[in-house]
Structure 1
Amino acid sequence: MTRYRNLAGDSGVRRYRIEPQAIAVEFVDGSHYLYTAASAGAEAIARMQALARAGRGLSTYINRHAHDAYARKLK
């Protein structure tokens, strides 16, 4: 997984992995979730991937728009 840059300094995201039509996210509490186009929508996944690459806003976006839209909990 790629370390999240956390440019704001207070993110709940630690690491992420971008996959085709999906993103896996590790949060600072150690939990891991997989969000997919089927579970959250292709537009949401594209936005989450862009935020992950930018290193800012991913945790806020997930909390506001995709919190329960994960495909499965990985850990």
Structure 2
Amino acid sequence: MADATSDRIHEVLKAVQRDVSAVRSDMSDLKQQMTAVRGHLVAIQQDVGNIYNRLCHMEDRVDRIEVRLGLVEPAH
């Protein structure tokens, strides 16, 4: 009877080991995906910052053009 019990415990422990191994593999995949997502978010933030800088530059140019054309009063 003791042999049957230890064999059953051994089987259960092997199953747990397989499950833990599968979870580790899944976690590794998720970490890689999260790292990729983080990299994409950084790139998007940089792109948005660049767009804001360009927009500000264009706004300054439009303001100067409006003043030159006499469409608005120059700011003092």
TM-score range for the pair, normalised by the shorter chain length: under 0.3
Please identify which structure carries the higher helix content: 2
Q: TM-score, normalised by structure 2?
A: 0.21
Q: Which structure is larger by alpha-carbon Rg, 1 or 2?
A: 2
Q: TM-score, normalised by structure 1?
A: 0.21
